[in-house]
Amino acid sequence: MKRMLSRIRSFIGRKELKRLMQSTFITWTKVCAFHKIPKEDWWLDGKYNVIHLKNGSTIDLLDLDFQPSDPEYQKIRDRSNTRTATSRKPGEIQFKAFDVLKSRVGQTQEEEFNLLPKTRT
């Protein structure tokens, strides 16, 4: 019997959360529909910008816009995750944001499920 991946923590980030919700999240819903993943298997927590999956995994939706009050991206430095994805639009996010996110990849569940850390743009 195939072991189900659970409790995986992933991030999706764009420069602005508003644009992420208007594009990337819409694509998420289309991909779920295409793969016949029922809406009951996942739900969006709009207060905390997290997609929760039925198996206990989460996908944090991140606003990666540069803030002068947080030049070192502390808002994401304390997070750990298994996978991450950022915008493919050239120059949309600061390299520092990408670099910090990349440093946080591979912090959860890799050994249990024999996963390699992965960052996608």
pLDDT digit string, tens, across residues 55-102: 888 999 989 899 999 999 888 877 777 667 776 676 788 888 888 887
Does some domain include residue 116? Answer: no
Give domain status of residue 17, yes or no: yes
Give the model's confidence band at 5: pLDDT under 50 very low, under 70 low, under 90 confident, else very high: low
Q: Is residue 1 part of a domain?
A: no
In angstroms, the CA 117 to CA 109 distance is 10
- Asked if residue 89 is part of any domain, the answer here is yes
Query: What's the chain's average pLDDT?
Result: 80
Cβ partners under 8 Å of residue 109, min gap 6: 5, 7, 8, 9, 82, 115
The answer to whether position 71 is within a domain reads yes
Our count of domains for the chain comes to 1
pTM for this predicted structure: 0.76
Which residue range is the domain that position 55 belongs to?
9-111
Establish if 2 belongs to a structural domain: no
CA distance linking residue 107 with residue 19, whole number of Å? 27
